[in-house]
């Protein structure tokens, strides 16, 4: 199952152009939703105005080379490994979900646009990437939603309470899970059920990409930008008006570590 391209089997009943149009429509929905979100929240405008204001309190002019170095380090450290979450379960779940989603989407795009026509054999690496990505997304997203959500872990809300902030993670997990089940049933040749899960897979994707305006989907685009701005501000000395790290303290306190925020 894991090395079978589900879209190639699907191409026997649904023309590959149909799948390609669906995939492009999802991209358009995500792009449109993000643009609407930016217009509505005015967050990008605030972000650049704030960055401009912060520059006024800079103590150092960064050269292009220094800026590139800061951006490169931020990408390698903060963005690709979500370092801001620290060495916690949240970070592991987030990284798992993030890379799972990336693999799932890349696998989907390659298999739909390149290997979905009947008669074209798919290198087994792509279905494996797609399935592994989906499994990682389900595990990472499910772990987060069931055990790590802050409104459950720090606020003691019921694990079954669903709020708008769950739209993104639930749609993402549902899309991956439905895709996996559909692929499994289709490989086994269980007709009827495979069609049901194909429809659920499509619906979950429509909710995921069509709900960008209402969900947390766009944080994937905002967070990297914010991390770069934060590190550039640290490098140019403005540091968002925060104090610089303390220099050689003299026997100061016990420095106790934060406990997990679970004292409700």
Query: Applying CB under 8 A, which residues contact another protein?
Result: 43, 47, 57, 84-86, 90, 149-151, 153-155, 163-165, 216, 219, 222, 226, 229-230, 240-247, 249-258, 261-264
Taking the C-alpha atoms of residue 230 and residue 239, their distance in angstroms, rounded to an integer, is: 7
Burial of 208 (0-12, 13-18, 19+ CB in 10 A): buried
Q: In the complex, what is the shortest distance from the CB of residue 243 to another protein, in angstroms, rounded to a whole number?
A: 4
Count Cα neighbours of 167 within 13 Å in the Cβ-side half-sphere.
16
Q: In the complex, what is the shortest distance from the CB of residue 166 to another protein, in angstroms, rounded to a whole number?
A: 8
**Which CB, 119 or 246, lies closer to another protein?**
246
Report CA 238 to chain centroid distance, whole Å: 30
Taking the C-alpha atoms of residue 12 and residue 136, their distance in angstroms, rounded to an integer, is: 28
The answer to whether the CB of 106 falls within 8 A of the CB of 71 is no
Q: In the complex, what is the shortest distance from the CB of residue 206 to another protein, in angstroms, rounded to a whole number?
A: 20
Q: In the complex, what is the shortest distance from the CB of residue 16 to another protein, in angstroms, rounded to a whole number?
A: 38
Q: In the complex, what is the shortest distance from the CB of residue 142 to another protein, in angstroms, rounded to a whole number?
A: 16
**Which CB, 47 or 193, lies closer to another protein?**
47
For 157, residues 6+ apart whose C-beta sits below 8 A from its C-beta are: 151
**Which CB, 57 or 191, lies closer to another protein?**
57
**Which CB, 73 or 219, lies closer to another protein?**
219
**Which CB, 97 or 179, lies closer to another protein?**
97
**Which CB, 85 or 102, lies closer to another protein?**
85
What is the DSSP track for 4-66? S-HHHHHTTTS-HHHHHHHHHHHHHHHHHHHHHHHHHH-HHHHHHHHHHHHHHT-SSPPPHHH
Tokens 């991956």, residue located:
176
Taking the C-alpha atoms of residue 210 and residue 134, their distance in angstroms, rounded to an integer, is: 20
Q: In the complex, what is the shortest distance from the CB of residue 151 to another protein, in angstroms, rounded to a whole number?
A: 5
């Amino acid at each position: 199952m894991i090395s079978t391209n589900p879209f190639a089997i699907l191409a026997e009943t649904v023309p590959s152009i149909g799948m390609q149009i669906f995939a492009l429509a999802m991209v358009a929905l995500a792009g449109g939703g993000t643009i609407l979100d930016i217009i509505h929240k005015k967050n990008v405008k605030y972000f650049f105005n704030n960055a401009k204001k912060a520059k006024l309190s800079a103590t150092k002019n960064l050269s292009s080379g220094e800026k590139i170095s800061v951006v490169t380090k931020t990408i390698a450290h903060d963005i690709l490994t979500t370092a801001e979450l620290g060495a916690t379960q949240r970070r592991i779940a987030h990284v798992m979900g993030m890379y799972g989603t990336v693999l799932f989407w890349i696998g989907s795009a390659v298999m739909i646009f390149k290997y979905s026509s009947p008669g074209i054999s798919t290198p087994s690496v792509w279905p494996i990437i797609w399935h592994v990505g989906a499994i990682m997304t389900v595990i990472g997203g499910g772990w987060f939603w069931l055990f790590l959500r802050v409104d459950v872990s720090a606020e003691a809300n019921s694990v079954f309470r669903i709020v708008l902030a769950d739209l993104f993670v639930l749609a993402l997990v549902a899309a991956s899970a439905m895709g996996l089940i559909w692929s499994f049933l289709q490989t086994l040749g269980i007709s009827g059920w495979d069609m049901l899960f194909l429809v659920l897979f499509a619906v979950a994707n429509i909710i995921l990409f069509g709900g960008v305006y209402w969900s947390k989907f766009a944080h994937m685009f905002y967070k990297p930008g914010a991390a770069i701005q934060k590190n550039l501000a640290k490098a140019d000395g403005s540091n968002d008006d925060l104090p610089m790290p303390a220099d050689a303290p003299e026997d100061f306190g016990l420095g106790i570590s934060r406990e997990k925020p679970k004292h409700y």
